[in-house]
């Protein structure tokens, strides 16, 4: 029991050093404040203890003193606030080119799916030195994906995606905890984060998979009949999905939203909620028909055809992909930069 | 003018005026109601404490070997619910506040004596629901009731516990209402706002929170019940609801609720420090208005419980900033208390030892709040034992220390008897040591990453040493809490009779007899002095020649 008795957690991500630096700063500053108060209290208590015949000296108060001991802590607080905010911004802003990993939480298990198709349960393999972004959702209650050695934590909610990211810096095996109480086996919802050297990781990620996640999504896109409406030309009854990811989308009710993962997910599960301008509310909900993993695959596929579209221009492998997924081949080409047709083009 | 009879054998007071069960159960005397509350909250305190002890015993070893997982989850849930809603929130206001608010301002009773009695009955009805719920299976959601676990997944008695808390909430609202009206309308002639004891200011601020905050938790509980029964889709994402909305509603009350617990304790400590250093409080108006500032700002920081819950970066920034704003008034109080000691004439009687304990523990609790309000650190330590340690330092280290200090300070007034001073000092020391041993290791555990609400940590046995320390501390702490109950009960029968003002303290409550008569004062007092007029109290009767301090 006593041989393994750490007082400081592992530092295994780029975030760990940032958080620890602020933590140490706070330990020093608050330590000094505590020491100051304690010293004063103990000194006054001893120095001014009751002695017979000596009376207390009444002091009304002092405005300059009040201002001093309000202003100095306030300044210190603002420094802590600003520093904490800077660290938080870093924590909450995933780099654009991060490797994406999908996480589905359920009572009481973590299911992980890599873009390359590797699946894991209660384990996450990642390489050293690469930014990894977790796109997470829950099948049931709220969970929280917590890696103490990385100093990161994010609640995982049902009904939407939340995101966290990290860059591991040290190979090893680290704790993964569920940090939001989620029922009976909450304390069993733990796992391992395995940080590997890049070469080892490459071998691991390419060993025995069922193919990339987006390929699964592509198959589903065809099987669920998505492609009958979401065609690659402007004739579809649903919006053309080429290039839609990450772009602003105008909604029927006048709002504009960005087509991020959460928006795509919501459109699949609750199509009426944020309908694209110019389209009829004819899409059925897929709530209950597709699992969280399948939603992830669909989203991964839509993202793939978007990025491919952006980089390659009009006639791309992605639009081919949609064409192939469509039962009838489409004669028209997809038009770049016109992800959604306007109202007049809809029949 | 009546002639004071020295040591009257049976002077009529609120305790001996009437006898029999009904004279207690139908009383409208605020002092008797305070005692009814004292008995009931002590009962719930020991239930909650028993749960705490079982929790600590389970965590002695990494494996989940003492109780089942579900049992453990119910233990920490019931521990939280009982301690928060049935002990901490009513503790100082309903016992000491009830007893002292009218006396301190020179009133005969609270403004609405029957509503005061009603509030106790509501508390008891709520408590009966809670007890029944506990005895027939309990609740396993954590005291926080997070949706959708509480609304769609847990099969335990959530609605029943909710009803208990809902009803007890009205008890809290009525007490707050009573205090606000009483403090506004029933002050004795000459008792201006600037002459009010700071205990009253603290209770005034507390009452405002009780009045404005408690209805929100009531609404939240109703929504949870509706969601469970009718599947309205308020919090359930499958029906278009938002589980994070629940957290906003819940913390909108439950954060200010922390100030319901700590503000009265600050009021108690202010009285004690003034009395035992024989001084007026340094910066009276700053201490008074810092209570109001805490009550106001306390309503604007709820989302700092939700920095990783899925709120936007920008709202997190706002709530982090405001959390530092609410920390400042607490810091101002600590500095003013410390300055009050300067050039005082300090005695170390038991109440003062508790006040010193409060200062130390509250300072640690407050300073670790600065860690949690820092966004970057919060992400790492929220939902870990760091948070558990932090809020126990505030709510147990702070609030309960203050409560015990207050009980010792006013016990001679309440019971008319003196408790054994030596035992009381020993108990204060045991509580202080036991408390730190229990909760300080939890800060370390939290930064190491041990999550809250884990009954089994066999995956991470490296956390055991700190947990063993914590459990050891909890047993010491348990002894420290049992002792006062024993010697208070003992003193009721065997204690020496207390004089009217055994501490020679300022304040109207000391100007009446111990125990006080039913209507508190034989004549309505007229106040011509400022609060904490220790200079006049300590002035030698004949000569002014005694040297003043140093």
Contacts of A159 in chain B (CB under 8 A): 237-238, 242-243
How far is the C-alpha of B512 from the C-alpha of B531, rounded, in Å? 16
- Indicate if the pLDDT at residue A129 is higher than 50: yes
Top pLDDT among B238 and B382 is at B382
Interface membership of B305 toward A (CB under 8 Å):
no
- Model ipTM? 0.91
Q: Is residue A60 part of a domain?
A: no
Cβ-proximal residues to B537 (8 Å cutoff; 6+ apart), any chain = B278, B504, B505, B506
- Residue A55 maps to a domain: no
**Residue B389: which region, alpha, beta or left (left: phi > 0; alpha: psi -120 to 50)?**
alpha
Asked whether B175 and B101 are in contact (CB, 8 A), the reply is no
Quick check: is A136 in a domain? yes
Residue B1 lies in a domain: no
Question: What is the structure's pLDDT at B356?
Answer: 96
Mutate to test the interface with A, among B449, B459, B468, B535 (most CBs of A within 10 A): B449
Q: Does B212 touch chain A (CB under 8 A)?
A: no
Do the chains contact at A184 and B70, CB–CB below 8 Å?
yes
User: Which chain A residue's Cα is nearest to B324?
Assistant: A77
Q: Which chain A residues contact residue B140 at CB under 8 A?
A: 183-184
**C-alpha–C-alpha distance, residues B128 and A331, integer Å:** 74
- Which residues of chain A are within 8 Å of residue B456 when distances are taken between CB atoms? 187-188
Domain that holds residue A144: 9-39+67-210
Inspect the interface and report whether the beta carbons of B341 and A34 lie closer than 8 Å. no
Among residues A186, A210, A234, which one ends one of the domains? A210
Distance CA A151, CA A334 (A): 45
With a pLDDT cut of 90, the percent of chain B lying above it is 91
Contact between A81 and B373 using a beta-carbon 8 Å cutoff: yes
The CATH number given to whatever domain includes residue B475 is 1.20.210.10
Q: What's the CATH code of the domain at A320?
A: 1.10.760.10
Identify the pLDDT of residue B33.
96
| Domain limit, last residue, from A156, A183, A210 | A210
The CA distance from A330 to the nearest CA of chain B, in Å, is 36
Give the pLDDT mean for B527-542: 86
- pLDDT for res A7: 86
Give the integer Cα–Cα distance in Å for B90 and B319: 28
In a domain, A266, yes or no: yes
pLDDT digits (tens, 9 = 90+) for B65-96: 899 999 999 999 999 999 999 999 999 999 99
Please choose, from the candidates B185, B271, B265, B348, the residue with its C-alpha nearest in 3D space to the C-alpha of residue B531: B271
Q: Do A55 and B338 touch (CB under 8 A)?
A: no
Residue A80 counted as domain residue: yes
- Asked whether residue B18 is domain-assigned, the answer is no
Using the predicted structure, report yes or no on whether residue A212 has a pLDDT greater than 90: no
In the predicted structure, residue A346 carries a pLDDT above the cut 50: no
Residue A19 to residue B454, Cβ atoms within 8 A: no
| pLDDT at position B247 | 96
Chain A interface includes B349 (CB < 8 A):
no
A199 and A223 fall within a common domain: no
| DSSP symbol at B346 | B
Q: Which of A22, A73, A149 sits opposite B377 (nearest CB)?
A: A22
pLDDT tier, B374 (very low <50, low <70, confident <90, very high otherwise): very high
Looking at the fold, whether A166 and A255 belong to one and the same domain comes out as no
Residues of chain A in contact with residue B63, where contact means CB-CB under 8 angstroms, are none
Confidence of residue A347 (pLDDT cuts 50, 70, 90): very low
Which residue does chain B place closest to A272, by CA atoms? B240
Residue ranges of E strands in chain A: 99-106, 109-114, 119-121, 123-127, 131-138, 143-147, 152-156, 162-167, 172-178, 191-196, 248-250, 256-258
Which candidate from A49, A58, A84 shows the least CB-CB separation from B346? A49
pLDDT band at A339 (very low <50, low <70, confident <90, very high): very low
pLDDT (tens digit, 9 = 90+) per residue, A221-275? 888 888 888 877 777 788 888 888 888 888 888 888 888 888 888 888 888 888 8
Q: Both A32 and A161 in a single domain?
A: yes
**Rounded to an integer, what distance in angstroms lies between the CA atom of residue B237 and that of residue A104?**
16
**Would residue B372 count as lying in a domain?**
yes
B376 touches chain A (CB under 8 A): yes
A178 to chain B: which residues are within 8 Å by CB?
451
Whether A302 contacts A244, CB under 8 Å: yes
Q: Which one has a higher pLDDT value, B366 or B550?
A: B366
Which chain B residues are Cβ-neighbours of A144 within 8 angstroms?
308, 383
pLDDT at residue A340 tops 50 = no
pLDDT category, B239, cuts 50, 70, 90? Answer: confident
Whether residue A302 sits in one domain with residue A170: no
Identify whether B475 is part of a domain.
yes
Percent of chain B with pLDDT over 70: 96
Judged against a pLDDT cut of 80, whether residue A213 lies above it is answered with yes
Q: Which of A35, A56, A75 to mutate to test the interface with B (most CBs of B within 10 A)?
A: A56
Number of domains within chain B: 1
Cα gap B316→B326, rounded to integer Å: 15
SS3 A256: strand
CATH code for position A82: 2.60.40.420
Whether residues A18 and A138 share a domain: the answer is yes
The closest CB to that of A175, out of B70, B73, B449, belongs to B449
Q: Within a 10 A sphere around the Cβ of B472, how many other Cβ atoms? A: 16
Tell me if A187 and B140 make a contact (CB, 8 A cut-off): no
Both A193 and A236 in a single domain?
no
Sort out which chain A residues have CB atoms less than 8 A from B320's CB and list them. Answer: 81, 84-85, 88
| Cβ(B144)–Cβ(B388) below 8 Å | no
Alpha-carbon gap: A92 to the closest alpha carbon of chain B (Å): 7
Q: B153 — contact with chain A (CB < 8 Å)?
A: yes
- Whether residue A292 is contained in a domain is answered as yes
Q: What is the DSSP string of A3-58?
A: SS--SS----BHHHHHHHHHHHHHHHHHHHHHHHHHHHHHHHHHHTB--TT-BPPP
Residue B529 contacts A, CB cutoff 8 Å: no
What pLDDT band is residue B539 in, cutting at 50, 70 and 90? confident
Hey, are the CB atoms on A41 and B356 less than 8 Å from each other? yes
Q: How far is A279 from chain B (nearest CA, A)?
A: 21
Contacts of B359 in chain A (CB under 8 A): 37, 41
Facing B341 at nearest CB: one of A48, A51, A154? A48
In this structure, the answer to whether residues A266 and A322 fall within a common structural domain is yes
As a residue count, chain B comes to 550
Look at strands A131-138 and A162-167 and give their pairing. Answer: antiparallel
In chain B, which residues have their Cβ closer than 8 Å to the Cβ of A48?
A: 277, 341-346, 549
Q: What is the pTM of this model?
A: 0.88
Inside any domain, residue A313: yes
Q: Kindly identify which residue of chain A lies nearest to residue B338, measuring between CA atoms.
A: A41
Q: Cα-flanking dihedrals φ and ψ of residue A279, to 5°? A: -120, 145
Same domain, A328 and A300: yes
Q: Are residues A193 and A219 in the same domain?
A: no
Tokens of B395: 């709510």
User: How many Cβ atoms are within 10 Å of B19's Cβ, its own excluded?
Assistant: 9
What tokens appear for B238 in the block? 């499958």
Least trusted range by pLDDT, from A1-15, A28-42, B203-217, B472-486: A1-15
pLDDT at residue A322 in the model:
53
Q: Give the closest of A1, A85, A178 to B464, CB-based.
A: A1
Helix (H, G, I), strand (E, B) or coil at A235: coil
Q: d(Cα A74, Cα A80) in Å, to the nearest integer?
A: 10
The residue in chain B having the minimum alpha-carbon distance to the alpha carbon of residue A86 is B376
Q: Are residues A307 and A279 in the same domain?
A: yes
Mutate to test the interface with B, among A61, A161, A262, A270 (most CBs of B within 10 A): A61
Same domain, A33 and A164: yes
Which residues 114-143 on chain B approach chain A with CB closer than 8 angstroms? 140-142
Q: Is residue B15 part of a domain?
A: no
pLDDT score recorded for residue A333: 42
**Chain B residues within an 8 Å CB radius of A190:** 459-460
Task: Dump pLDDT digits (tens) for B166-220.
Answer: 999 999 999 999 999 999 999 999 999 999 999 999 999 999 999 999 999 999 9
Of A57, A69, A183, the CB nearest to B549: A57
Q: Count the Cβ atoms, other than its own, within 10 Å of residue A90.
A: 14
pLDDT of A37-65, one tens digit each?
999 999 999 999 999 888 888 888 899 99
Domain C-terminal end among A210, A230, A254? A210
Contact A30 B368 (CB under 8 A): yes
Cβ-based contacts under 8 A for chains A and B: 301
Range of the domain at B129: 28-533
Residue B15 to chain A, least CA–CA distance (Å): 35
Q: How confident is the model at residue A287 (pLDDT cuts 50, 70, 90)?
A: confident
List the single residue in B with minimal CA-CA distance to A9: B448
Give the number of domains in chain A. 2
Distance from the Cα of B440 to chain A's closest Cα (Å) equals: 13
Confidence of residue A74 (pLDDT cuts 50, 70, 90): very high
Q: Is A181 in contact with B142 (Cβ distance < 8 A)?
A: yes
Average per-residue pLDDT for chain B: 93
- CB burial of B46-66 (b: ≥16 within 10 Å; e: otherwise) equals bbbbebbbbbbebbebbebeb
pLDDT at A311: 47
CB contact under 8 A, B375 and A87: yes
In a domain, A294, yes or no: yes
Contact B200, B267 (CB under 8 A): yes
- Same domain? For A218 and A172 the reply is no
pLDDT at B370 over 70: yes
Residue that is written with structure tokens 């210190």 in the block: A76
């Amino acid at each position: 029991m006593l041989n393994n008795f750490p007082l400081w957690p592992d530092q295994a991500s780029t975030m760990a050093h940032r958080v620890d630096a602020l933590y140490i700063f706070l330990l020093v500053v608050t330590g000094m404040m505590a020491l100051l108060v304690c010293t004063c209290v103990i000194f006054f208590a001893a120095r001014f203890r009751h002695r017979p015949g000596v009376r207390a000296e009444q002091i009304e108060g002092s405005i300059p003193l009040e201002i001093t001991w309000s202003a100095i802590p306030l300044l210190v607080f603002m420094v802590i606030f600003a520093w904490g905010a800077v660290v938080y911004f870093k924590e909450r802003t995933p780099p654009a080119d991060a490797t994406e990993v999908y996480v589905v939480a359920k009572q009481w298990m973590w299911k992980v799916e890599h873009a390359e198709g590797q699946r894991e349960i209660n384990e996450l393999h990642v390489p050293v030195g690469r930014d990894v972004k977790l796109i997470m959702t829950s099948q049931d209650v709220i969970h929280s994906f917590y890696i103490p050695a990385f100093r990161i934590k994010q609640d995982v909610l049902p009904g939407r995606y939340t995101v966290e990211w990290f860059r591991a810096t040290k190979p090893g095996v680290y704790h993964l905890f569920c940090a939001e109480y989620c029922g009976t086996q909450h304390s069993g919802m733990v796992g391992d984060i395995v940080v590997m050297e890049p070469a080892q990781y490459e071998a691991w990620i390419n060993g025995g998979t069922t193919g990339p996640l987006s390929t699964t999504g592509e198959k589903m896109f065809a099987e669920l009949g998505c492609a009958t409406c979401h065609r690659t030309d402007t004739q579809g009854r649903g919006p053309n999905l080429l290039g839609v990811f990450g772009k602003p989308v105008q909604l029927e009710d006048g709002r504009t939203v960005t087509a991020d993962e959460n928006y795509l997910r919501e459109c699949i599960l609750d199509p009426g909620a944020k309908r694209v301008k110019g389209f009829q509310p004819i899409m059925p909900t897929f709530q209950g028909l597709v699992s969280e993993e399948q939603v992830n695959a669909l989203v991964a596929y839509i993202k793939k055809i978007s990025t491919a579209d952006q980089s390659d221009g009009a006639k791309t492998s992605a639009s081919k992909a949609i064409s192939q997924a469509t039962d009838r081949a489409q004669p028209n080409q997809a038009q770049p930069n016109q992800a959604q047709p306007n109202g007049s083009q809809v029949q | 003018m009546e002639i004071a009879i020295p040591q009257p054998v049976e002077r009529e007071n609120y305790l001996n005026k009437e006898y029999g069960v009904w004279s207690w159960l139908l009383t409208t005397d605020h002092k008797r109601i305070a005692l009814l509350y004292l008995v009931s909250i002590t009962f719930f305190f020991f239930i909650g404490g028993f749960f705490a002890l079982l929790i600590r015993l389970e965590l002695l070893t990494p494996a989940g070997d003492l109780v089942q997982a579900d049992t453990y989850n119910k233990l920490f849930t019931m521990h939280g619910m009982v301690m928060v809603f049935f002990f901490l929130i009513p503790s100082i206001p309903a016992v000491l506040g009830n007893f002292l608010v009218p006396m301190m301002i020179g009133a005969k009773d609270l403004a609405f004596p029957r509503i005061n009695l009603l509030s106790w009955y509501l508390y008891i009805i709520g408590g009966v629901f809670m007890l029944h719920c506990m005895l027939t299976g309990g609740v396993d959601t954590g005291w926080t009731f997070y949706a959708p676990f509480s609304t769609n997944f847990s099969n335990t008695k959530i609605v029943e516990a909710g009803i208990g808390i809902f009803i007890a909430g009205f008890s809290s609202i009525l007490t707050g209402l009573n205090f606000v009206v009483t403090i506004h309308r029933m002050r004795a002639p000459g008792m201006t706002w600037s002459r009010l004891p700071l205990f009253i200011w603290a209770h005034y601020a507390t009452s405002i929170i009780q009045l404005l905050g408690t209805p929100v938790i009531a609404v939240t509980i109703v929504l949870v019940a509706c969601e469970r029964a009718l599947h309205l889709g308020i919090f359930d994402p499958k029906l278009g609801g938002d589980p994070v909305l629940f957290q906003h509603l819940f913390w909108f009350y439950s954060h200010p609720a922390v100030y319901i617990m700590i503000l009265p304790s600050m009021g108690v400590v202010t009285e004690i420090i003034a009395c035992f250093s024989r001084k007026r409080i340094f910066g009276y108006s700053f201490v008074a208005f810092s209570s109001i500032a805490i009550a106001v700002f306390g309503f604007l920081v709820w989302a700092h419980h939700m920095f990783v819950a899925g709120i936007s970066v920008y709202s997190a920034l706002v709530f982090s900033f405001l959390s530092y704003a609410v920390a400042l008034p607490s810091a101002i109080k600590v500095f003013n208390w410390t300055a009050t000691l300067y050039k005082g004439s300090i005695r170390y009687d038991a109440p003062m030892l508790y006040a010193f304990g409060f200062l130390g523990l509250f300072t640690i609790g407050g300073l670790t709040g600065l860690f949690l309000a820092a966004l970057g650190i919060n992400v790492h330590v929220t939902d870990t034992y760091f948070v558990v340690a932090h809020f126990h330092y505030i709510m147990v280290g702070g609030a309960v220390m203050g409560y015990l200090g207050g009980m010792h300070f006013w016990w001679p007034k309440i019971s008319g008897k003196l408790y054994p001073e030596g035992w009381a000092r020993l108990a204060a020391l045991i509580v202080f040591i036991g408390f730190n041993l229990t909760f300080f290791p939890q800060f370390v555990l939290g930064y190491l990453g041990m999550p809250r609400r884990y009954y089994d940590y066999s995956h991470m046995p490296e956390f055991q040493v700190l947990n063993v320390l914590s459990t050891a501390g909890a047993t010491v702490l348990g002894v420290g809490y049992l002792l006062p109950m024993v010697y208070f009960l003992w003193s009721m029968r065997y204690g020496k009779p207390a004089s009217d003002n055994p501490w020679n303290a300022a304040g109207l409550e000391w100007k009446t007899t111990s125990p006080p008569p039913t209507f508190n004062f034989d004549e309505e007092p007229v106040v011509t002095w400022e609060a904490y007029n220790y200079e006049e109290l300590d002035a030698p009767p004949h000569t002014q020649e005694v040297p003043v301090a140093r």
